[in-house]
Amino acid sequence: MIKNILFFSLASVLIFGMPGVSRAESAIEIIDNDYQTVTISVQESVLHVTGANGQILQIYNVAGMMIKSIKVDSNDRRYELNLNKGCYIVKVGKTVRKVSIK
């Protein structure tokens, strides 16, 4: 009698207590980030921007006011700034640099 109870208990645990095995398929998505890094440099009053074709170039003074906004139309571009001497913040896309005009 005890053997029958143990057998039924073990059988019920094995049948009802075992978690079901399921196969989960993982989706792997490869994202190709084909982008160039933007470089910003200044020499005297000439601003040199590379790798920013089609992006917006914004120049701010230290108070945060936008001085100029230019659409970059080439991958390698130079701009004559014609700004007063001082520090400015240049933003191209997500790249931000502080430049000094001497």
Which stretch of DSSP H or E encloses residue 9? helix 2-16
The secondary structure of the chain in percent helix, strand, coil, rounded to multiples of 5, reads: 15, 40, 45
Residues in the chain: 102
| pLDDT value of residue 16 | 67
| pLDDT value of residue 31 | 57
| CATH domain 39-101 topology | Immunoglobulin-like (2.60.40)
| pLDDT value of residue 90 | 96
The pLDDT tens digits of the residues spanning 33-48 come to 555 689 999 998 899 9
* Domain regions of the chain by residue span: 39-101
Measured torsion, CA atoms of residues 33, 35, 41, 47, in degrees rounded to the nearest 10: -140
The pLDDT tens digits of the residues spanning 45-101 come to 899 999 999 999 999 999 999 999 999 999 999 999 999 999 999 999 999 999 999
| pLDDT value of residue 91 | 96
Q: Are 33 and 10 in contact (CB under 8 A)?
A: no
Name residue 85's amino acid.
K
